[in-house]
Amino acid sequence: MKKITCILLFCFAVHAYAATSITTPKVSGHWTASGSPYDVYNDIMIDPSYSLTIDPGVNVVFHGAYRLQVYGILHASGTISAPINFNIADTTGFSTDNSTNAGGWRGVQFFTYGGTGTDTSALNYCNITHAKLCALDAVVWRLNILTIMRALVVSNCNFYNSSTTIGCGIDLAYIALTSGQRAELNNCNFYSNFSDGSLLHGDGGNIYIHDSRFYQNLCTINTLGIISSDFLFSNNELYHNTINGPSGGEGIFSLFSDARLIANKIHHNICRKAGVICGNSGFIDIISNVICNNQHTDLKGCGITDGAGALNLAWNSSSTHSNTFYNVRNNIIANNYSPFEAGAIKIYQANAVITNNQIVNNASPNGAALSLFDNQSSVITIKNNVFYGNVEDTTIGTPTPAIQAYFTGTTFKYEYNWAQYPTKYELDLLGTYTLTGDTTTNIVGINPGMISPTPAAKLGTDATLARFALSATSPCIDKGDTTGTIIEAKDYAGNARIYGTKIDIGASEYSPFNALDLTYTPAEKQVDIYPNPVKGIVYVTTPEAKGQISMIDLSGKLLQLVTVTNTSSMLDVHTTAPGIYFIVWTNDGSPKEIQKVVVE
């Protein structure tokens, strides 16, 4: 027994002393799990002609406020079960206090690649935490927690419990690219971070951020401010972020120059003076997003450029007015609130086309849905939208104008919209303007026929749980118009436009798939599904060799559609995310049976 105990103690001792100390300023080579943790005792740098590979499971531990600077190649690729961790040895004293760098290290900076071969740098399955930049770093303001100044892909990484403060770069991730380069962040999580400025800041180049999550971050001066040309932000989720500085700041986004926000979920965020999405200049697309339960909270200090619970679309006078144009289409904008003006959208001195949106249950004392101010002879189009339940405050039922505007020489088009109240209550237009379009095409009604929208204009009513798709009896079906407007191939849920004879009013295009009663259970099953649960191929047998088999997700989005040519059909779900889905057999144009299938 003593011999065994001695052997175990010896093994433990060997393991305990497997750490590798890094005390030189330049690093390269190969860091392995067997040499982990790598204890860093000074600033480290990868020279232009060198590379460093870090294996899965390695822990990189900084013993002080040191940084990793990359001029050569850093290839840090972990796995889902063995991520690479970047942290500090002692987090004692970590805080958002900008007078000290205690408790934090100083991040990873990828500078312009200086090597001669192909740059294979990558961050994949890395955890970056307790990085901190404070006022002591004012002379190196671009050295942020993550700096990208080259083409780089960052995937499956977590950035959390980090802090930047005024005077030192003010951004968690600073991206500055030269022409022809592209930075991509995908499947990453940014949470519980603090910044005196922006969470993400882009400066030129080509930036693509997708399938990532941003939550519980706090910015106290400016914005999450993704500011960039050629910027695409798609299929991300942003929630429970707060902009809460003494100067108010702008919003979760501050957009310039050809930015595109597509198919994101942006909900339950708080800003002080303006909407969660703030546009400044350029040609901006905001398409097929769900933007809900956001609020602008601070009335004090609000000026003519401020306001909006969701979108604040403005012209920056330092740019050419004709080169600022907003396309806002296919969005669900619901249950947002502003105490100043514009429950959903404010347009300030800018050209804009607002088409095929569902603007539902937003609240504000001025412009329950939209507030417009223009003295630049802008061109503004409001077309194919649903305005429903937008009220003066959070008390449902007040027939306040959904749109309030003051114009000087503006061209304003308002047509093919569904409105809850007659024009005198829906529009309050002052000043001089040219009203164009066929206003007789607007529909006034009691109910636009959504399946299960939020019941009232209250922030506490969670719009992410509602279903805004049109029901089969909706008065919005086939009542829109495509003349002179840009039409997406898909609606906000990803289903095909146009399903009927004309485009529908609103963000949702009616089809039997997005209007299905997903709780329906047939009295007698005609369709068999096997295996269920399924990992690869699911087989569907039908009583007749005709019709169609569809696979839809919980929101009603159509994922697959196959024509039935035999009584046994096949769906390939190898690339389908695990979860619950519905298999629908449709015959003679109508759904005959709906069944659940579980994809593992």
pLDDT of 10 higher than 50: no
Average of per-residue pLDDT across 123-139: 80
Kind of pairing, strands 450-452 and 467-470? antiparallel
Whole-number Cα distances in Å, 220 to 217, 250, 265, 305, 572: 10, 10, 23, 20, 48
| 224, 252 Cβ separation under 8 angstroms | yes
3-state secondary structure 223-251: CCCCCCCCEEEECCEEECCEECCCCCCCC
Query: Averaged over 205-213, what is the pLDDT?
Result: 88
What is the chain's alpha carbon radius of gyration, rounded to the nearest angstrom? 27
The tokens of 280 are what? 């400044």
Query: Cβ(19)–Cβ(37) under 8 Å?
Result: yes
Q: What b/e readout covers 538-549, taking b as 16+ CB neighbours within 10 angstroms?
A: bebebeeeebbb
Report pLDDT for 12: 39
pLDDT at 589 over 80: no
10 Å Cβ neighbour count for 415?
A: 19
**Choice between 227 and 593, residue whose per-residue pLDDT is larger:** 593
| One-letter amino acid of 233 | F
In this predicted structure, the answer to whether residue 513 has a pLDDT above a threshold of 50 is: yes
> What is the per-residue pLDDT across 326-348, written as a single tens digit (0 to 9) for each?
999 999 999 999 888 889 999 99
> Are 339 and 364 contacting, i.e. CB atoms less than 8 angstroms apart?
yes
The proportion of the chain whose per-residue pLDDT surpasses 70, expressed as a percent, equals 84
Q: Which of 70-79, 186-195, 438-447, 538-547 has the highest mean pLDDT?
A: 70-79
pLDDT in tens, 343-389: 999 999 999 999 999 999 999 888 889 999 999 999 999 999 999 99
pLDDT for residue 574: 87
As a whole number of Å, the end-to-end CA separation of the chain is 47
Torsion of CA 149, 155, 156, 158, to 10 degrees: 0
- Tell me the CB-side half-sphere exposure of residue 464, using CA atoms within 13 A: 14
Asked if 419 contacts 402 with a C-beta cutoff of 8 angstroms, the reply is: yes
The DSSP secondary structure of 502-560, one letter per residue, reads SPPSSS----TTTT--TT---SS---EEESSSBSSEEEEE-SSS-SEEEEE-TT--EEE
Is it the case that residue 78 has pLDDT exceeding 90?
A: yes
The answer to whether the beta carbons of residues 386 and 505 sit under 8 Å apart is: yes
pLDDT at 305: 79
Give residue for tokens 């961050």: 123
Q: What local confidence, expressed as pLDDT, does residue 279 receive? A: 85
Q: Is the pLDDT of residue 479 over 90?
A: yes
Q: Is the pLDDT of residue 247 over 80?
A: no
Enter the tokens of residue 284: 């901006």
Encode burial over 450-467: b for 16+ CB neighbours within 10 A, e otherwise. Answer: bbebbebbbbebebbebb
Q: With cut-offs at 50, 70 and 90, classify the pLDDT of residue 199.
A: confident
Is 247 or 292 the better-scoring residue by pLDDT?
Answer: 292
428 has pLDDT over 60: yes
Question: How does the average pLDDT of the chain come out, rounded?
Answer: 84
Q: Is the pLDDT of residue 26 over 90?
A: yes
Examine the pLDDT at 154 and tell me if it is beyond 90: yes
Q: Which range is least confidently modeled, 20-34, 97-111, 116-130, 358-372? A: 97-111
Question: Which CA distances in Å does 144 have to 134, 165, 178, 301, 560?
Answer: 10, 10, 18, 31, 43
Look-up of token digits 């759904």: 591
Residues 6+ away with beta carbon under 8 Å from 50: 26, 28, 72, 73
Can you give the pTM of this predicted structure?
0.85
Lowest mean pLDDT among 94-103, 342-351, 396-405, 579-588: 396-405
Q: pLDDT-based confidence at 301, cuts 50/70/90?
A: low
Mean pLDDT computed over 285-299: 89
**More confidently predicted of 44 and 95:** 44
User: Quick check: 299 pLDDT over 70?
Assistant: no
pLDDT at site 393: 66
Confidence of residue 296 (pLDDT cuts 50, 70, 90): confident
> Which residues share a beta bridge with 158?
127, 189
Place of tokens 């000026």: 303
